[in-house]
Amino acid sequence: MQKLCVAAVGTALIALESLSMAPATAALLTFSFSTESGGTGSFTLDTETVRASEPAVFGAGFTGILYPNAVSNLSLSASYTSLRKVTADWVVAPFFTSDLLVLPESMGVLSGAVYPSGCSNGTSVGCSVTVGVIYSGNASELSPNPDSYPIVLAVELFEPTTQQLLIRESITKFQVVPESNSNLSILAFGIGGISLLLKRKLKEKLLTAKE
């Protein structure tokens, strides 16, 4: 029993050491939302994505900040379109402040996911789907704090070639949460397994002593 305890402690220490030596993972935020017509959507934002050297290009000569391929697993199920786990860019438009959307001025600026990737860098490929989000963090980098994304505004559907707006649907419910750290989950599972093993061995020892 004593040897088993020593082994258990050693295993736990190795797990903790592996966790501390593991490279820092990207700060991932998971967005999920529902639309006014009953549609649903979700995506993951990698907040450690480095901004592109070229700007995001909007209409009327306005430009913003582009984070290429920062969005993964973008899924959208609605009557007008369907996407399943696709990759998209993230853009921030510092000129488009929240007061222009009849929101409190201090709330932030317009940002969001734009699909497909590369559609907002001034090429001939136009965006077909956007998910607008108010962003209150530093525009030159993405914040890992869920509170920096206070409102998911709307889903917009565009004609890719002409960029004509076809549908704009408001978001009625949303949630922004950080993804759980897989290393911590593995460690907790490992320590839980060791605890069960110790209890089992102790029970076997007690039964043997009674016999």
Asked whether residue 17 carries a pLDDT value surpassing 50, the answer given is no
Model confidence over 100-111: pLDDT tens digits?
999 998 899 999
Residue 121 sits at φ, ψ, to 5 deg, of -100, 20
For the chain, the structural domain boundaries read 28-178
| Residue 58, pLDDT score | 83
Model confidence over 137-192: pLDDT tens digits?
999 999 999 999 999 999 999 998 888 999 999 999 999 999 874 444 444 444 45
- Return the amino acid letter for 111: S
Q: Is the peptide bond between 146 and the residue preceding it cis, with omega within 30 degrees of 0?
A: no
- pTM score > 0.95 for this model? no
Model confidence over 118-135: pLDDT tens digits?
998 876 678 999 999 999
SS3 149: coil
Asked whether residue 6 carries a pLDDT value surpassing 50, the answer given is no
